[in-house]
Amino acid sequence: MAGKIFGIDFGTSTLKIYKKNDGVIFDAKNIIAVANGNQVIAIGDDAYEMYGKSPANIIVDYPVKNGVIADIANMLSLLNQAFDKLSREHGKITGSEFLVAAPTDITEVEKRAFFDLVASSNAKAKKIRIVEKPIADALGAGLDVMNAQGVMIVDVGADTTEVSVISLGGIVLSKLITVGGNKMDESIILNVKKTYNLIIGQKTAEIIKKELGCALPPKVEKTIKVYGRDVLSGLPVEREISSAFVYEAIAEYMHSIVDAVRIILEKTPPEISADIIDSGVYLTGGSANIYALDQLMAQETELDINICEDPANTVVKGIGRIIENNKLSSLALTLKQTYYGG
């Protein structure tokens, strides 16, 4: 592929952009701060700083929800600002080619929205193609997706978990469930309030999850101190939260993820099942970092579980592999090719 080519992963929590020959050049929170209904005042990590702290006239929001574009206007503003920043830092991007990752198990309309978004952006794209997210994930995990060896990929992200079976460069099965790190954070907030009468913010909940989250009952009890507001007195207070408490709060979601894997395994053609027994399951996405999620999955499926290196970046790195290697070009699809029977 000649000329400037960019790859984009519109994640629920992070937006990542790859540039041919340069690698990942943008990796920031996929969040925007808008004042008075129409003035964009910040995007990315700067907007995230304002999250949970903004006055009533400033809305700070994630435009991608449950893996799909939920707020087209805000996503477009955010993307245009990201493109402006990239043009300043990396040279002009207009007239380039774009490869965009999209989940497989979504509607045609939702898939098309990723395409339309880039088409209507200020990048004036020369060509836009879609990469099935599980294919990008597998490539980013270093797998050879073109051969007949079937593989299972489980991407546990922020709003979604996508369980997919791939063979011969195509998707055999894929299921998207709306369970990921965000549901775990919300459950921690709810349980802290119920048990301790303490109100904590989303950022604090995420810190608690990253520090203490565990997919199996913790063998060693750890605690951390957190700050929040007491429901009754309204005053700021400090509390100690334990790993056993966090386990109880998130266990339900760990099992939903494992159940989704089981459902797909039950539907997998036997020849591919044999391949999966051979090579194991590949676990990607930022929430693959939850301690012992691989152990729980291994216990429940009796398969080997491989956690990919830098799991939050497998999708963007996988698109990068397609961009850099002409032999993989057929894995980027025109909009028509993504339609069933297209």
Ligand X SMILES: Nc1ncnc2c1ncn2[C@@H]1O[C@H](COP(=O)(O)OP(=O)(O)OP(=O)(O)O)[C@@H](O)[C@H]1O
Binding ligand X (rule: CB under 6 A), the pick from 69, 312, 322, 328 is 312
The structure tokens listed for 205 are: 């909940």
The structure tokens listed for 104 are: 């497989």
Contact set for Mg ion, span 238-297 (CB under 5 A): none
Which residue lies nearer to ligand X by CB, 4 or 160? 160
Contact set for ligand X, span 1-40 (CB under 6 A): 11-14
Binding ligand X (rule: CB under 6 A), the pick from 121, 160, 268, 338 is 160
Q: Which residues, other chains included, contact 59 with Cβ-Cβ below 8 Å and sequence gap of 6+?
A: 33, 34, 37
Which residue lies nearer to ligand X by CB, 150 or 181? 181
Which residue lies nearer to Mg ion by CB, 11 or 228? 11
Which residue lies nearer to ligand X by CB, 16 or 20? 16
Contact set for ligand X, span 39-78 (CB under 6 A): 67
- Give CA–CA dist 244/223, Å, rounded: 9
* CA neighbor of 153 nearest in space, from 69, 272, 66: 272
Q: Which does 286 bind (CB under 5 to 8 A by kind): Mg ion, ligand X, none?
A: ligand X
The structure tokens listed for 204 are: 């604090």
**Does residue 181 interact with ligand X by CB under 6 A?**
yes
- Give CA–CA dist 41/275, Å, rounded: 50
Q: How far is the CB of 137 from ligand X (least distance, A)?
A: 9
**Does residue 157 interact with ligand X by CB under 6 A?**
yes
Other Cβ atoms closer than 10 A to 138:
28
Stretch that binds ligand X, among 32-40, 114-122, 141-149, 209-217 (CB under 6 A): 209-217
* CA neighbor of 81 nearest in space, from 131, 119, 30: 30
Residues 212-241, mask of contacts with Mg ion (x by CB under 5 A): ------------------------------
The DSSP secondary-structure symbol of 333 reads B
- Give CA–CA dist 96/124, Å, rounded: 8
Which residue lies nearer to Mg ion by CB, 150 or 157? 157
Binding ligand X (rule: CB under 6 A), the pick from 290, 308, 316, 332 is 290
Q: How many residues sit close enough to ligand X to count as binding (CB under 6 A)? A: 22
Complete edge-to-edge strand list for the sheet that includes strand 32-35: 39-43, 32-35, 58-61
**Does residue 218 interact with ligand X by CB under 6 A?**
no
Q: Please state the φ and ψ torsions of residue 69, each to the nearest 5 degrees.
A: -75, 115
Contact 131, 333 (CB under 8 A): yes
The structure tokens listed for 118 are: 């880039």
Which residue lies nearer to ligand X by CB, 68 or 173? 68
Stretch that binds Mg ion, among 8-16, 69-77, 182-190, 298-306 (CB under 5 A): 8-16
3-state SS of 207-247 is HHHHHHCECCCCCCCCEEEEEEEECCCCCEEEEEEEHHHHH
**Contact residues for Mg ion, defined by CB under 5 A:** 11, 157
**Contact residues for ligand X, defined by CB under 6 A:** 11-14, 67, 157-160, 180-182, 206, 209-210, 213, 285-287, 289-290, 312
